[in-house]
Structures are given as structure tokens and as C-alpha cells.
Structure 1
Amino acid sequence: MQKLSLDALAREHLENASVASSGRSAATVYGGHEHTLRQTVLALTAGTSLAEHENPGEATLLVLRGRVRLTSGDNSWEGRSGDLITVPPARHSLQAVEDAAVLLTVAKQG
């Protein structure tokens, strides 16, 4: 069994993102490509975004810190610390409205 502090990981990756040229930092905390379930902590500095991309499977975003906006087509959802956003099964993008860290959980389609 493994225990992780998501708060500590969010803080660490926000620090890393603040000095990265991309304004982003990420680490897989559970699973990976060989597993169905994968959880990744992503940190983005304010104004940084993940360009539009395909949905890799069922997915949720848990906002650990800050504010983000998830956009898919004409729809968008804003999340703040503590919010859980279900990622739509369509192309989407993610933008940090302010410095933010999220836990992305993905269950890949078989």
C-alpha cells in the first residue's frame, strides 16, 4: 500500500511549474500506460493551458488548488479548489485561470 499527500504534490508541482518554461509540471501518481486506471497531478501557472486534445477514456479532474476552465466545443466549466469536473467524451482543452493544480483520473477505454 502506498500513501501520498496530494497537498504536498500540488505544492511541489506548482513550484516546478513556476520555473518551467512551459508553465507546467506533472507526475503520474498511480497507474500508467499498462494499467486501466491512471492518476496524474498536473500543475499549471495562470494563463497556461493544455491545447485541445482527445479524451483518452472516462476521466475526471479534481481541482486541488486554484481555478481552471475546461472547454469542449461551445461548452466550458470552471472549477475551484475542491471541485470535481467530469471530462466530456469529446475533444477538450484545459486552462489555468489562476495558478492551479489538479488530479486527473483516467480510466482508459478497452
Structure 2
Amino acid sequence: MTLTAGEKLSEHENPGEATIQVLEGRVELHGGGASWNGSVGDLITVPAGLHSLDAVEDSAFLLTVVKQL
């Protein structure tokens, strides 16, 4: 996925276990009252429940989701 600087994925539920691997740029993940900064090469575990993602810079990231049945 890609986002330009200032774009965001608004708050949404986590459909299963998920990670974000930052390929380019910088992102900030928010969820459960905490936040995590991600830069190139970082792998971030997406928290359960509601969360959102902001692009601090033009960014490309790999979102991997293991959907629970």
C-alpha cells in the first residue's frame, strides 16, 4: 500500500493478526492509547481493536493480515 505525506487510514478494526512492514518513508500507527513510529525496514505489529495509520512522509508499506475464521 502507499500513502502520501499527511494521508491517513482512519480508525478501523483489526480483522485478525496483522503486521506492517515499512518499505519506504515513515508512518505512525495509533491504537489502544499508544502510538508507534515506523521507518524503512521496521516491522510493526498492529494492535487488536481500533487503530489508525498516518503517513509522516510519502510511504510504501506491506500490510500482512492473517484473518481469523
User: Same fold by TM-score, threshold 0.5 exceeded?
Assistant: yes
Gaps of at least 5 residues in structure 2 are none
Runs of 4+ off more than 3 Å: none
Query: Equivalent of 1:98, from 27, 46, 57?
Result: 57
CA distance in 1, matches of 2:32, 2:67: 22
How many residues matched? 69
Match of 1:79 in 2: 38
**CA distance in structure 1 between the aligned counterparts of 2:64 and 2:33, rounded to whole angstroms:** 23
Rg (Cα) greater in structure:
1
TM-score by length of 1: 0.62
TM superposition shift of 1:74: 1.6
Counterpart position of 1:108: 67
| RMSD between aligned residues | 0.6
Deviations 1:12-47 (A, max 9, x none): xxxxxxxxxxxxxxxxxxxxxxxxxxxxxx100000
Query: Normalised by the size of structure 2, how large is the TM-score?
Result: 0.97
Any unmatched runs of 5+ in structure 1? Answer: 1-41
- Per-residue CA distance 1:34-82 (angstroms, 9 max, x = gap): xxxxxxxx10000000000000100000000000000013200000000
Determine the C-alpha separation between the residues in 1 that align with 2:63 and 2:32. Answer: 20
- 2:20 pairs, out of 51, 57, 61, with 61
